[in-house]
Amino acid sequence: MEKIRIQDDLYTFVNQEAIEQLVIPDDMPTVGGFTSLSIDVEKLMIGEFNQMTSSGNYPNEYLQRACTLYKAAKNVKRKAKHGIAPALKYLKPITQLDSIKTFNSKLDKLVIEGLPLPFDIGVDTDMKDTSRHCVMIQGPRVILPDVTYYKEGMEQQKQAILAMWANMAQLVLAKTDLTAEQQAQYIQDTLAFDEIISKYVKSQQEWSEYVKMYNPTKTTKVCALMKPVSFRMLLKHLFGEVPQTIIVTEPRFFKAFSEVFNEQTFQLYVHWAYVTGLLGCCSLLSEELRDIGGMYRRALSGIASAAPVEKFAYQLASGMYSEPVGLYYGQKYFGEEAKKDIVEITKQIVETYKERILNNDFLEEATKQKAVLKLSKIGIKMGYPDKVRDLYQKLVFNERHSLFEMVHSLRKIRTLDNLSKLNKPVNHENWAMPGHMVNACYDPFANDVTFPAAILQPPFYSIKQTRSQNLGGIGAVIGHEISHAFDSNGASCDENGNLANWWTKADSRKFQAKIKAMIKEFDGIELPWGKCNGEFTVSENIADNGGMAVTLHIMSNMEGANFEEYFHNWARVWCMKAKPEYLQLLLRVDVHGPAMLRANMQPRNFPEWYSTFNVKKTDKMYLAPSKRVVIW
């Protein structure tokens, strides 16, 4: 093993040995850090599910339903017996679409059944007044992982990936009653429709600027744009009324809507809806179809094989009943002592953040006061919620149905529940993530942070780890999430999560300059598998920067602080071994920078890195003081 110096490469120095030993499971694209923890939680919970199903003892009706679904998903014989039939039944309304007139007459049913449409509609939080809901529309997704693949210069790669997709589609269509000629036509039409969509929908980078999703548009104007769709009638059917304003998340797409969907493209749409709809069903059909239907996704990420049926079944059931499963996990495996300790750390981080903002030299007093107000109002969701939301009472299915029908009926209940929210207030008590998920988040429209129980484990956190280690792990993650309140997106929302400009002009300019500096720091960095996109990853890099700044500040005032332990654990949480295909994919679709860069870039912005390891100009992880960026 090559000897790495910490001053040259913190990430490899800390993780080299672990990475050598890690084995990427056949059904996954990556392992290490977050993923390894997820695998452990999953194994534990599969054990719990097996125990519940074999004993017949369920802690509550929700877990009982989750386990019933789990058993059905594991029942290979029963799934084989149903074959492709449930999917064909589901797609029947698509096969009956003979004209735009028929399409319009059935449109509300198509929405409720979740069939593929040339646009998506749903109810979401109104970003300008986050206490209420609004109707949002967006364009459909494209076949390739991002529209940048359709741009010039990508022709070869694009054709190769689309060929992979077409190969999979062909194998699935062969199971239907379509003739070989029809199958070829359907695939050709699907690709043609996809090509049209790709000209107008947003790239992942455009989506990453989420405040730009907010484009309130008069309904009369939206109806005119969406001709020949009877959009007004759809609104009336779905909501019993016609709201005055619609939030258009992809203005470019809807401006061009009549070019996407018209008499000439109608047949392309019908075939596209059939093929993409069918492919979307595969995982819930026979094992053979689950395997075929996953080929494309696996190839994109370099995954060798489909997940074992037990794992698939658990993921499906725990996804459908995520809150009850998370609540069960949290109550059983997350101690009150740990919860108290982490809430304490979080409060300390918020207070330190306030202190740093009040003392920083780049903001004017008025902006500082607004920022501090926002910090004072940040909600903390730690571990798991007290109870699951009411929706779960409604999530029932018929056990005698096929697996596909069970899941479809649950999805339909969720769709109807979503649509029914339009005139109801937003419930900010709801949790964005369930307790068994190894992740954390900041919700800009609720101004709160969520840390599910499952992430509150080593290497992120342990009562047995030192405070310095915990600050380099969960502390930096908590600081990261809080920093999202002040990243390139979050800074556009106020203390109640409403889109509002609380910045003075001069401060806003200075902040923009800092954002640019952060973009520059990461942009174009060459990795063996591609280049980092500084603009795409900037909000996450700002969050990492803030997380490190605030935790190092706490360290500097802490008795017995051990900076070596801090940086070591910071690097440890980013440990990751992955398939090259997956790393390439992430560069295009993940707003987070590559794990190795996250570990190695931020430390060099802070003096503690240099003093702790005696880092010199000649070391690879040295950055000239004039180039260092600290934002919060």
**Residues carrying an active site annotation:** 481, 544
Q: How far is the CB of 548 from Zn ion (least distance, A)?
A: 13
Q: How far is the CB of 573 from Zn ion (least distance, A)?
A: 13
d(CA 50, CA 48): 5
Residue number with CB closer to Zn ion (543 or 575): 543
Do 385 and 90 contact (CB within 8 A), yes or no? no
Q: How far is the CB of 284 from Zn ion (least distance, A)?
A: 31
> Residue 590: which residues within 8 A CB-CB, separation 6 or more?
none
Q: What angle do CA 545, 572, 555 make, to 5 degrees?
A: 50
Rounded to the nearest 5°, which phi and psi values hold at 495? -65, -20
d(CA 43, CA 440): 20
Rg value, the chain, Cα: 25
Residue number with CB closer to Zn ion (300 or 591): 591
Do 584 and 512 contact (CB within 8 A), yes or no? no
Residue number with CB closer to Zn ion (108 or 540): 540
Write down the number of H helices and E strands in the chain: 30, 11
Site string for Zn ion, 495-534 (x = CB under 5 A): ----------------------------------------
Whether omega for the bond prior to residue 228 falls within 30 degrees of 0, making it cis, is: yes
Residue 235 token pair: 């609104």
| Stretch binding Zn ion (CB under 5 A), from 2-10, 126-134, 470-478, 543-551 | 543-551
Residue number with CB closer to Zn ion (118 or 490): 490
> Residue 327: which residues within 8 A CB-CB, separation 6 or more?
384, 385, 387, 388, 434, 435
Q: How far is the CB of 593 from Zn ion (least distance, A)?
A: 11
Q: How far is the CB of 484 from Zn ion (least distance, A)?
A: 6
At 226 the three-state DSSP class reads coil
Residue number with CB closer to Zn ion (66 or 437): 437
Residue number with CB closer to Zn ion (183 or 602): 602
Residue number with CB closer to Zn ion (285 or 378): 378
Contacts of the segment 306-312: beta carbons below 8 A, 24+ positions apart: 306/27, 307/27, 308/27, 309/73, 309/74, 309/76, 310/46, 310/74, 311/27, 311/42, 311/46, 312/73, 312/283
Q: How far is the CB of 411 from Zn ion (least distance, A)?
A: 28
Do 41 and 311 contact (CB within 8 A), yes or no? no
d(CA 262, CA 260): 7
Site string for Zn ion, 223-242 (x = CB under 5 A): --------------------
| Stretch binding Zn ion (CB under 5 A), from 86-94, 137-145, 427-435, 536-544 | 536-544
Q: How far is the CB of 440 from Zn ion (least distance, A)?
A: 8
Task: Locate all alpha helices (DSSP H) within 321-362, ordered by sequence.
Answer: 322-333, 336-359
Among 14, 292, 357, 543, binds Zn ion (CB under 5 A): 543
Residue number with CB closer to Zn ion (318 or 537): 537
Which parts of 255-284 interact with Zn ion (CB under 5 A)?
none
Longest distance between any two alpha carbons in the chain, whole Å: 75
Site string for Zn ion, 43-62 (x = CB under 5 A): --------------------
Residue number with CB closer to Zn ion (7 or 489): 489
Q: How far is the CB of 122 from Zn ion (least distance, A)?
A: 24
Angle of helix 365-376 relative to helix 336-359, nearest 10 degrees?
170
Q: What angle do CA 403, 404, 405 make, to 5 degrees?
A: 90
| Stretch binding Zn ion (CB under 5 A), from 19-27, 137-145, 211-219, 537-545 | 537-545
Element spanning 15, H or E: helix 10-21
| Stretch binding Zn ion (CB under 5 A), from 104-112, 267-275, 539-547, 557-565 | 539-547
| Stretch binding Zn ion (CB under 5 A), from 329-337, 341-349, 541-549, 613-621 | 541-549
Please tell me whether residue 474 binds Zn ion under the rule CB under 5 A.
no
Q: What is the 3-state secondary structure (H, E, C) of 408-432?
A: HHHHHHHHHHHHCCCCCCCCCCCCC
Q: How far is the CB of 18 from Zn ion (least distance, A)?
A: 23
| Stretch binding Zn ion (CB under 5 A), from 126-134, 152-160, 299-307, 542-550 | 542-550
Residue number with CB closer to Zn ion (6 or 449): 449
By CB under 5 A, how many residues form the interface with Zn ion?
A: 2
| Stretch binding Zn ion (CB under 5 A), from 263-271, 391-399, 450-458, 538-546 | 538-546
Tell me which amino acid residue 369 is.
Answer: Q
Nearest residue to Zn ion by CB is 543
Q: How far is the CB of 318 from Zn ion (least distance, A)?
A: 23
> Which residues is 449 bridged to in the sheet?
380, 442
At 25 the three-state DSSP class reads coil
> Residue 519: which residues within 8 A CB-CB, separation 6 or more?
534, 535, 538
In order of 37, 482, 579, 586, the CA distances from 582 in angstroms are 19, 28, 5, 6
Contact residues for Zn ion, defined by CB under 5 A: 540, 543
